Amino acid sequence: MTAGVLIVGAGECGARAALALRERGYDGPVTLIGDEPHLPYERPPLSKDTMVSEAEPSPKLVGDREHFASRRIDCVTGASAVAIDRVARRVTLADGRTLPYDKLLLTTGALPRRLPLPGADSSRCAYLRTHDDALRIRDALKAGSHVAILGGGFIGLEIAASARKRGASVTVIEALPRILTRGVPEAIAQMIDARHRREGVTLACGKAVLALRETASGIEIALADGSTVAADLLIIGIGAVPVTKLAQEAGLTVENGIAVDAQLRTSDPDIYAAGDCCSFPLAIYGGRRVRLECWRNAQDQGGLAARNMLGAGESASAVPWFWSDQYDLTLQIAGLPDEGTQAVRRDLSEDAFILFHLAGDGRLVAASGIARGNAVAKDIRLAEMLIAKGARPDPAALAQPQVKLKSLLAA
């Protein structure tokens, strides 16, 4: 087999990288290796549309087999990479095959963090990462069933909203005092909290899980305050950990993910990493090393890695962007709110507002918004552009909805 570009990890990021190589005119072999039986598909629908679909849904593919074949991209599904020989430039698969490479891209993603308690591997517990995981959870979401969700982050709350739409009763258990503590301002978290409670979700915050016990009909979750939650299924969503074993065993530097430079190169110049599995420096935040678990970043870095493997020499510069849909509410965040020391609120309507996060020097470093539908989308996009420019907008202007952000961008 002729060496070319080998991509290990056939999710959104890896697939976008493979397609971008062809769009940029690369004519050598491109091989995409994935451990799932499916072709590359989008993961955001798993906690939302996949859960609430009436008919059993299929994965939302990035492209079908013909789409990849027409671009001479070889998709190897159901295959796991187990070793990298950096000297020979070969990757070994679990079935014994070895594949050569000139450039290697690791887009191995992240796995759900496992709950370190006896019983967490019970058939009454579930984690969400794959389409097959989503189908299994979906089967449990029905009228008359009760699901418990451990973790009040994006994934747990999106599943809770989907479960209520399907008629299941829901208890969300969160060890910290409130939901969405990671990167979401408290004012926005309070609005989402209130909405879940109106929809009938029980939110049990500040409650740690002590023990799990499988029963004939489900699972019992013992909490630190002495109470017990009984459920048909416990869905565990307590964060994600980057998949780094392959890189680590190959001697690559790992630091909260596979460590890459601004051009997504690992400590081996012929190996790149992108997406959820890697940590990288962001110049707009003074070179702060971050690891982002989000759809936009997977798309952006897939393209960036492809261009840099072809010699573009571009640095990561995209402003982080996250979103979450729960019921008819949409939360959008541009930038990193924890970089700010001051928040300025702009009320757009009774149930829509944006918080602008300013650093000590007046720079806009993040914007967090929530509303029904996409009411904040345009303003968040304009805020994203202001952040990228390093703008220092007048806080008084940010607070007034009649002052258009476009005018601040022009200034």
**Domain locations in the chain?**
5-111+240-309, 114-236, 328-410
C-alpha distances in Å from residue 149, one per residue of 137, 154, 159, 357, 381: 11, 12, 8, 31, 32
Number of Cβ atoms within 10 Å of the Cβ of 275: 34
How far is the C-alpha of 153 from the C-alpha of 161, rounded, in Å? 12
Distance of CA 403 to CAs 119, 128, 353, 411, Å? 55, 42, 14, 12
H or E element that contains 174 = strand 169-174
- The pLDDT score that the predictor gives to residue 54 is 85
Domain 328-410 indexed as CATH 3.40.190.80? no
Q: Judge if 114-236 and 328-410 fold alike in CATH terms.
A: no
Mean pLDDT by 10 residues, the chain (411 residues): 92 97 97 97 95 90 96 97 98 97 98 95 95 95 96 97 97 97 93 97 97 94 96 97 98 97 98 98 95 94 98 96 95 96 94 96 97 94 96 96 92 79
Residues in CB range of 85: below 8 A, 6 or more apart: 91, 92, 98
The gap between the terminal CA atoms of the chain, to the nearest Å, is 56
CATH topology of domain 5-111+240-309: FAD/NAD(P)-binding domain (3.50.50)
SS (H, E, C) 291-354: CCCCHHHHHHHHHHHHHHHCCCCCCCCCCCEEEEEECCEEEEEEECHHHCCEEEEEEEECCEEE
The CA distances from residue 39 to 45, 64, 114, 333, in Å, are: 15, 7, 26, 30
* DSSP symbol at 61: B
The total of other beta-carbon atoms located within 10 Å of residue 388's CB is: 15
Nearest-CA neighbor of 295 among 29, 7, 1, 16?
A: 16
The residue among 382, 111, 365 whose CA lies nearest residue 238 is 111
Burial class (CB in 10 A: 0-12, 13-18, 19+), 62: buried
Range 114-236: architecture per CATH:
3-Layer(bba) Sandwich (3.50)
Which pLDDT score is estimated for 159? 98
How high is the pLDDT of residue 55?
A: 86
- How high is the pLDDT of residue 401? 94
Report the C-alpha gap between 34 and 111 in whole angstroms.
14
Helix then strand then coil, % of the chain, to nearest 5: 30, 30, 40
